[in-house]
Structure 1
Amino acid sequence: MATEQLRIRRPDDWHVHLRDGSVLASVVAHTARQFARAIVMPNLTPPVTTTEQAVAYRSRIMSALAAQDSPYTFTPLMTLYLTDNTPASEIEKAKASGVVHAVKLYPAGATTNSDAGVTDLLKYGGAVLEAMQKHELPLLVHGEVTDPDVDVFDREAVFIDRVMLPLRRQFPELKVVFEHITTKEGADYVMHAEGPVAATITPQHLLYNRNALFQGGLRPHWYCLPILKREVHRQALLAAATSDSPRFFLGTDSAPHVKGQKEKDCGCAGCYSAFHALELYATAFESVGKLDRLEAFASLNGPAFYGLEPNAEHVTLERAPLAIPQALALANDQIVPLAAGESLPWRFVG
């Protein structure tokens, strides 16, 4: 008999974009409704590069949630944006703050608002990485090379060879999260890597392959970076996420962009999934008969890697159709959620 209700410990989102200003005010309650904590990305304009900026950004997030009289208890876990000029002293300050929980590596030009990112991690980042290893502050990597000679579908696999392997040799005790992995190579690497290595996986990479980008025409709301890959890679991600390995955990990479910015001639990369994240993940896990593995992936593995306790409270999903809206309000505009207009078999009830 099919499961009619699913009750799990309240999950956390270990990779989310909340933006700032009016966009932040529009999206933060979606994340807070389903997740107790979230690792918040620092790629604002300008980026969050210092502890003081991270503390101020955290305050804006909490104020945006409070302004909506939100009933949800939510803790944003802040990150710093790594640059070629980040001083090692900033790492000690970040760790001591109790507010900053990780440092984010964006290879320069890899994705949205990444122009200030690192040009050569091992050349410029040695002292910073040493400090992060010492203070046990995880490095979160957007795992793609930006070499224009490398095919966009191969950039994750090449990143493993060019960056991850040398990084692990030089800093074997550094905690590293290979974020939003998209390939069999990425899943295999994380599964077998030596040292403290983990990975987040998004709902879109568990549910869709690259055909989704082109069904009935160009589908910009399925466009994200790293881009969707072949079916063999999706199947490998599903196997990793539903395995008994504690190295894989939930990270939506939910990324709000207004409808027009996604549908223009050079549209933005990013899928918006905060509105219905758990329903998407439950659908993916059920597709391979592994609903029983969702709690570990969503609620237990991430806290264990970050050295935090799992949440004590629980949430429930019920088997009931969820019609995904064609659009949601975003500031004074609209945002199109992932799989808009479709229906999912699960509904979050809190």
Structure 2
Amino acid sequence: MVVELELPAAADFHVHLRDGELMKTVVPTIRNGGVNLVYVMPNLVPPVTSVARALSYKADLEAIDPSITYLMTLYLCNDVTPEVIYEAKKAGIAGVKSYPAGVTTNSDAGVVSYEAFYPVFAAMEEVDMVLNLHGETPPREGVTVLNAEETFLPTLLDLNKRFPKLRIVLEHCTTAAAVEAVKKCGPTVAATITAHHLYLTIDQWAGNPHCFCKPVAKLPSDRDALVAAAVSGDPKFFLGTDSAPHPRSSKQGSKTAAGVFTQPYALQYVAEVFQREGKLDGLKAFACEYGRAFYKTKELGFESDERVAEKLVIRTEPSDVVIDGYGDGDSAVVPFLAGQKVWSLQWKQ
């Protein structure tokens, strides 16, 4: 029997849309995944550190697909001062993304000491902007890809204690410990969970470069904790795919780029997990509602009534994940679960 579900448009609160030719390939796939609002990461080369650059980038994205709502962010670095935060708030910038130095793609200009940015966090708390944390400890002795997230969690707890009114999102949780840390924090702390981390463990990415991302997928017990959090109905946890496209050529060879491309099938991937867990009735809240509520998308004027009113239908009728990728040759981007079956999705007119 075919299962059919009507939903509002999903909102994806963590996407990488790149720039240049790759941007032109990736942006048109957003709606394919049932999404009409995206929270855009700023780790371009060079990173997005000024309001002018963020607005210029937004204009580039809107020129490709104006039917998407793009929430823009700044890259936390020394150029981002309290004065920049006040300017960003007035310009409609939604948040600031923190990358620990050296932990992932284009993070070389990232944070070494959070204490140096306390005045920035205070300004963000004052104007009600969101701080997004890539929650890993930078490389050092005793820190590996398997414990970098867990060793970061005291920093999350400390920032929440110091700035209790600052809205903080721990991005792309990968461990049971991260789930528990977010639960322990106050109501101003939430977390995103990706589509691929609901599927993967260490064994999958260790043998498949298209499943390799940062932070890496970890143990089966960690994946189970993420699934449990996603389907729990706890509004602290919502969809942020961390869809991170790289050309096929960058996912081969001795230095594999970190990132899993899930944009064209974002909602479809997640729907299968919710159905498997017998929690399909919770998909709407996780993928469509909780993130919007935490980010106050309507209250702060980020999202129009027309966008909020859009509807789609997903069905268990199988649809093929593109196997050859999006784009041409070595420049093509290979999606997660290429060649496998997922749900079908159609927008309502």
Matched, 1:275 2:264: yes
CA distance in 2, matches of 1:209, 1:255: 18
Tell me the equivalent position of 1:128. Answer: 120
2:170 is matched with which residue? 178
* Pick aligned residue for 2:198 from 194, 198, 206: 206
Instruction: Return 331-340 or 265-274, whichever deviates more.
Output: 331-340
Residue 278 of structure 1: CA displacement? 1.0
CA distances 1:160-208 after superposition (whole Å, capped 9, x unpaired): 02x1122112111110000000000111111231240011100110112
- 1:158 equivalent to 2:184? Answer no
2:27 matched to 1:38?
no
The 3-state SS of whatever aligns with 1:125 is helix
Structure 2 contact 49–79 (Cα < 8 Å) conserved: no
Q: Does residue 1:305 correspond to 2:294, yes or no? A: yes
CA offset digits 1:234-293 (Å, max 9, x no partner): 110011011121111111111110001011210100000011111100111112111111
SS at match of 2:234: coil
Listed as ranges, the matches of 1:318-329 within 5 Å are 318-329=315-326
- Structure 2 unaligned segments of length 5 or more: list them: none
Answer whether contact 1:31 1:274 (CA < 8 A) is retained.
Answer: yes
Q: Which residue of structure 2 aligns with residue 336 of structure 1?
A: 334
- Residue 3 of structure 1, CA deviation: 6.0
2:144 is aligned with 1:147: no
The correspondence of residues 29-178 of structure 1 with structure 2, limited to 5 A, is 29-33=28-32, 34-65=34-65, 73-98=67-92, 100-122=93-115, 124-149=116-141, 150-161=143-154, 163-178=155-170
String of CA shifts for 1:221-245, please: whole Å, max 9, x gaps. Answer: 0000000110000110011011121
Q: What count of residue pairs does the alignment treat as equivalent?
A: 336
Rounded Cα–Cα distance in structure 2 between residues aligned with 1:47 and 1:170: 27
Matches of 1:177 and 1:184 in 2, distance apart?
Answer: 16
TM-score (norm 1): 0.93
CA distance in 2, matches of 1:9, 1:62: 21
Which residue of structure 2 lines up, in the alignment, with residue 70 of structure 1?
none
Structure 2 CA distance, aligned partners of 1:147 and 1:128? 24
CA contact under 8 A between 2:182 and 2:236: conserved in structure 1? yes
CA contact (8 A) 2:160 2:189 kept: no
| Distance (whole Å) between structure 1 residues aligned to residue 196 and residue 58 of structure 2 | 27
User: Could you tell me whether the CA contact under 8 Å between 2:37 and 2:70 is conserved in 1?
Assistant: yes
Residue identity opposite 1:173 in structure 2: K
Indicate the percent of aligned positions where both proteins have the same amino acid: 38
Over residues 283-337 of structure 1, what are the superposed CA-to-partner deviations in whole Å (9 max), with x where a residue is unaligned?
A: 1111211111100000100111011238222111011112212222336721111
Matched position secondary structure for 2:332 = strand
Q: Deviations over 1:70-110 (max 9, x none)?
A: xxx21111000000342110001101112x10100001111
Is 2:242 the partner of 1:256? no
Name the SS of the counterpart of 2:326 in structure 1. Answer: strand
Quote the Cα distance in structure 2 between the aligned partners of 1:40 and 1:242: 25
Cα distance in 2 for partners of 1:207, 1:8 equals 22
Greater shift after overlay, 223-232 or 141-150?
141-150
CA contact (8 A) 1:106 1:114 kept: yes
Matching residue of 2:14: 15
Give the secondary-structure state (helix, strand or coil) at the position aligned to 1:271.
coil
